[in-house]
A and B are shown apart, each in its own frame.
Chain A
Amino acid sequence: RKEVEQDPGPFNVPEGATVAFNCTYSNSASQSFFWYRQDCRKEPKLLMSVYSSGNEDGRFTAQLNRASQYISLLIRDSKLSDSATYLCVVNQAGTALIFGKGTTLSVSS
């Protein structure tokens, strides 16, 4: 079983749609959680950290369910500029970040 699993997509949605991505992780000792965004032929960039109580940053909401070892990212009112690959990332004590393969989002007008 892979350590971090994501649905690769692609998710094709119209502008203004709400879209949700899910991610599962295998190691219950994971302590830190992040979502990164990667544009085509660019480097990954931190989108947001994920906290146990859930957190929101504008149109983006991240949630963590430790019992189910599940992380989600919700994007509301999607924009053309949201088109990218979204990487789910987890960290365990004493190890480096572990990246999922990413979920591709394409927002069309």
Chain B
Amino acid sequence: DAGVIQSPRHEVTEMGQEVTLRCKPISGHNSLFWYRQTMMRGLELLIYFNNNVPIDDSGMPEDRFSAKMPNASFSTLKIQPSEPRDSAVYFCASSLTGKAPQHFGDGTRLSIL
């Protein structure tokens, strides 16, 4: 079975550029999560969706970050404009419900120069 699919796997771009990260959750999962992981702060929840509706976006750092889930099989996380401090690994995860164990994608390693 296909797991959570993220793209791109790696992204290197200059500060000020727009970055779009993509995620396809496991089919049938109703909840989707975006995380950011750094050495200093660990794994931080940015936002999560339940049935395509954003439930909690309190972890989104600032207005430069936005996330959408137009349908049950696709979500994007966008950073505009990007800054060097946004460099991190961004994970997408999905689960059957908000409380169920989550399945993670391989992550996107983002470097902002």
| Cα–Cα distance between A97 and B96 once the two chains are bound (Å) | 13
A to B CB contacts below 8 Å, 28 in the list: A32-B99, A42-B106, A43-B91, A43-B104, A43-B105, A43-B107, A44-B91, A44-B104, A46-B101, A49-B101, A87-B43, A91-B99, A96-B33, A96-B55, A96-B56, A96-B98, A97-B33, A97-B45, A97-B99, A97-B102, A98-B45, A99-B35, A99-B42, A99-B45, A101-B41, A101-B42, A101-B43, A102-B42
| Cα–Cα distance between A87 and B102 once the two chains are bound (Å) | 13
Task: State how many angstroms separate the Cβ of A62 from the closest Cβ of chain B.
Answer: 13
Interface size on B, residues (CB 8 A): 20
Q: Is A25 interfacial (CB 8 A cutoff)? A: no
Query: Digit string of B72-113 for contact with A (CB within 8 Å is 1, else 0)?
Result: 000000000000000000010000001101111111000000
The answer to whether A99 and B106 touch (CB under 8 A), given A34-B101, A46-B101, is: no
Interface size on A, residues (CB 8 A): 21
- B101 near A96 with CB under 8 A, answer no
Q: Is A12 interfacial (CB 8 A cutoff)? A: no
Q: Is A45 interfacial (CB 8 A cutoff)? A: yes
